[in-house]
């Protein structure tokens, strides 16, 4: 295979008329282009996030950062490396990674075009710009051809696998038995599978491919439990399937699987034996979004109940607090007039401070318990975030936290209530600053575009949450000794009222809150 790649690479160079002069021009271009690599990479991945099929192969921000580093190294070698066997092997390896993670082939030419255009604009500033642009075109053509070849090789390998399986007599007998049912299965929205006596997937429908991201030739003849459950649930799933073989009514089971892109999906299955006893038939429904919506509904209902309680509590204690504060103020002035000793004045000040703190708590109760509906209008997220950061600077200095911003280059716009959204950001930023106060750590505010959402992320390098199961959005739950537990409850309510969601990722040394709001673009 390596020899084939080398021959193919040499053939491509001859075809596009690649010469040493081309490489010399690109090396000169590299000197000017290197300072722009970071910007080009950021713009590239912002564009990726706008397309669901391409964005689906991205697991998390850590993976994106690794891929950004890979893309910058790719641009460096594109402009500076000799087109030898090592170069071609590396390009083929990149192509195989794209195939493995399920990046649709149609995105390869468009991705190459984006980077080509960015580098070509830089080349326009060089003295020999016309010849340099032509050399750049030849280099990109070679790389694109090599990477597209890997998709062809994958297709051929899959075709050979199918042909090999079809040559088996056992396979032919099984397929003949089940194909009569296959056409009907294609019209079913649920994932439909057949599991043979050895626990292998014998047939599946299009919905199964959509659910997993794998082609049927990559699924069928594979052990069902390996593809359709994660390691912790495989033994349980084997028991469930065996029970289903001997069940008259079928067996239900809910578990998680990992898609080709590395994402986890929650699937509800129902298994029943086939009439001839040859298979266990399974119908699977992706309930991940349904489960998330149920959890959000439960949380919202719980917060609504607590909000009613908070409203009553605030009403009952607000008037006594106002009266007490009035009298403390009067007493403080009287003591000042008769030159009271300092410890008496300090006691009065302490009482006043505590009453003011309780007043602030009541105010938060009322914000949480009696929310006003958001007044929606187009809001530029980058501008709102920049304004909020300037307001937050005082809090950051008080805790010793340093701040940074990382905004999307194309100004995401959402329909939102600017004041309420600013309250969300300030609550999250202040929490982050308090989390890093002990180490004088860092807080980053960033914006991102997603295919159907705009994302705002607040990340800190503090100790992280005490538990991934902690009910941090519940009212009155707090990890801080003097916290009221209302800050995140208010965040959740405001974001929910905007039709959005709040996600949390936390490990020691990194906590990220992500606010997702419906996008105004298509």
332-370: pLDDT as tens digits = 776 666 655 665 666 666 667 667 767 766 666 666 666
**481-494 average pLDDT score:** 73
The answer to whether the beta carbons of residues 115 and 144 sit under 8 Å apart is no
> With 70 as the cut, is the pLDDT of residue 87 above it?
yes
What are phi and psi for residue 269, nearest 5 degrees?
-110, 150
> With 80 as the cut, is the pLDDT of residue 394 above it?
yes
State whether the Cα torsion 13-19-20-25 is positive or negative. Answer: negative
> With 90 as the cut, is the pLDDT of residue 83 above it?
no
What are phi and psi for residue 229, nearest 5 degrees?
-155, 160
Closest CA to 52 of 336, 404, 348, 450: 450
Q: CATH second-level architecture of 292-369?
A: Orthogonal Bundle (1.10)
C-alpha torsion 393→461→430→414, nearest 10: 90
Q: Which residues are within 8 A (CB) of 167 and not within 5 positions of it... i.e. 6 or more apart? A: none
> With 90 as the cut, is the pLDDT of residue 60 above it?
no
> With 90 as the cut, is the pLDDT of residue 514 above it?
yes
Closest CA to 295 of 271, 274, 266: 266
Closest CA to 1 of 100, 91, 89, 97: 89
**379-386 average pLDDT score:** 93
* Mean pLDDT, the chain, whole residue set: 79
Cα 301 to chain centroid, rounded = 26
- At residue 451, the pLDDT reads 75
| pLDDT classification of 490: cutoffs 50, 70, 90 | confident
The answer to whether the beta carbons of residues 101 and 21 sit under 8 Å apart is no
DSSP state of 223: B
> With 70 as the cut, is the pLDDT of residue 21 above it?
yes
Query: pLDDT tens-digit profile of 190-228?
Result: 788 888 888 888 878 888 888 888 888 888 788 888 888
> With 90 as the cut, is the pLDDT of residue 34 above it?
yes
Query: pLDDT tens-digit profile of 409-437?
Result: 878 889 999 988 998 999 899 989 988 88
The answer to whether the beta carbons of residues 136 and 26 sit under 8 Å apart is yes
Query: pLDDT tens-digit profile of 258-316?
Result: 888 778 888 988 888 876 667 788 888 888 887 777 777 766 766 666 666 666 566 55
Boundaries of every domain in the chain: 2-163, 184-286, 292-369, 377-518
- At residue 64, the pLDDT reads 76
Rounded to two decimals, what is the model's pTM?
Answer: 0.48
**384-399 average pLDDT score:** 90
> With 70 as the cut, is the pLDDT of residue 80 above it?
yes
What is the distance between the alpha carbons of residues 142 and 8, in angstroms, rounded to a whole number?
10
- At residue 29, the pLDDT reads 92
Name which CATH class applies to 184-286. alpha beta
The answer to whether the beta carbons of residues 368 and 310 sit under 8 Å apart is yes
- At residue 445, the pLDDT reads 94
Question: Across the beta sheet with 191-195, what order do the strands follow?
Answer: 201-204, 191-195, 280-286, 264-273, 251-258
Most confident of 31-35, 59-63, 241-245, 452-456: 31-35
Q: How far apart are the first and last CA of the chain?
A: 43
SS3 254: strand
**174-184 average pLDDT score:** 50
For the chain, counts of helices (H) and of strands (E): 18, 12
CATH code, 2-163: 1.10.490.10
SS3 500: coil
**468-490 average pLDDT score:** 66
> With 80 as the cut, is the pLDDT of residue 475 above it?
no
* Residue whose structure tokens are 């991934």: 468
- CATH classification of 377-518, choosing from 3.30.565.10, 3.40.50.2300, 3.30.930.10, 3.40.50.720? 3.30.565.10
Helix axis angle, 61-80 to 20-33, nearest 10°: 130
- At residue 101, the pLDDT reads 67
- At residue 343, the pLDDT reads 59
> With 90 as the cut, is the pLDDT of residue 384 above it?
yes
């Amino acid at each position: 295979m390596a020899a084939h790649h080398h021959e193919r690479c040499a053939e491509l160079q001859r075809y596009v008329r690649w010469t040493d002069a081309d490489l010399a021009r690109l090396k000169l271009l590299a000197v000017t282009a290197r300072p722009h690599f970071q910007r080009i990479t950021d713009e590239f991945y912002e564009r990726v996030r706008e397309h669901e099929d391409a964005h689906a192969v991205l697991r998390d921000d850590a993976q994106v950062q690794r891929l950004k580093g890979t893309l910058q190294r790719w641009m460096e070698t594109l402009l500076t490396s000799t087109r030898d066997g090592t170069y071609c092997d590396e390009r083929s390896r990149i192509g195989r990674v794209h195939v493995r993670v399920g990046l649709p082939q149609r995105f390869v030419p468009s991705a190459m075009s984006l980077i080509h255009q960015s580098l070509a604009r830089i080349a326009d500033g060089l003295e020999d710009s016309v010849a340099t642009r032509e050399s750049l075109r030849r280099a990109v053509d070679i790389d694109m051809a090599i990477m597209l070849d890997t998709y062809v090789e994958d297709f051929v390998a899959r075709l050979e696998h199918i042909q090999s399986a079809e040559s088996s007599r056992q396979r032919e007998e099984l397929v003949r038995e089940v194909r009569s049912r296959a056409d009907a299965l294609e019209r079913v929205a649920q994932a439909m599978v057949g599991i043979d006596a050895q626990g292998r997937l014998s047939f599946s429908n299009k919905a199964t491919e959509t659910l997993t991201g794998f082609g049927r030739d990559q699924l069928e003849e594979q052990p069902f439990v390996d593809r359709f459950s994660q390691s912790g649930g495989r033994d349980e799933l084997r028991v469930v399937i065996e029970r289903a073989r001997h069940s008259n009514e079928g067996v239900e089971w809910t578990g998680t699987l990992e898609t080709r892109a590395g994402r986890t999906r929650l699937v509800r299955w129902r298994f029943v034996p086939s009439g001839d006893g040859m298979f266990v038939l399974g119908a699977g429904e992706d309930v991940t979004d349904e489960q998330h919506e149920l959890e959000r509904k439960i949380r919202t209902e719980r917060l609504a109940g607590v909000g009613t309680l908070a409203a009553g509590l605030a009403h009952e204690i607000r008037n006594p607090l106002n009266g007490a504060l009035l009298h403390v103020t009067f007493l403080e002035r009287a003591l000042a007039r008769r030159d009271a000793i300092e410890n008496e004045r300090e006691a009065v000040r302490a009482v006043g401070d505590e009453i003011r703190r309780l007043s602030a708590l009541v105010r938060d109760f009322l914000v949480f318990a009696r929310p006003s509906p958001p007044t929606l209008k187009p809001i530029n997220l980058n501008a709102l975030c920049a304004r909020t950061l300037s307001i937050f600077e005082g809090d950051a200095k008080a805790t010793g936290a340093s701040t940074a911003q990382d905004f999307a280059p194309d100004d995401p716009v959402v329909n939102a209530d600017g004041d309420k959204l600013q309250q969300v950001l300030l609550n999250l930023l202040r929490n982050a600053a308090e989390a890093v106060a002990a180490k004088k750590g860092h807080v980053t505010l960033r914006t991102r575009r997603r295919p159907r959402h705009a994302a705002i992320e607040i990340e800190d390098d503090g100790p992280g949450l005490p538990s991934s199961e902690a009910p941090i959005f519940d009212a009155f739950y707090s990890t801080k000794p003097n916290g009221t537990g209302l800050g995140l409850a208010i965040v959740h309510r405001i974001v929910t009222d905007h039709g959005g969601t709040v996600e949390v990722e936390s490990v020691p040394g990194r906590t990220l809150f992500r606010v997702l709001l419906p996008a105004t673009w298509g």
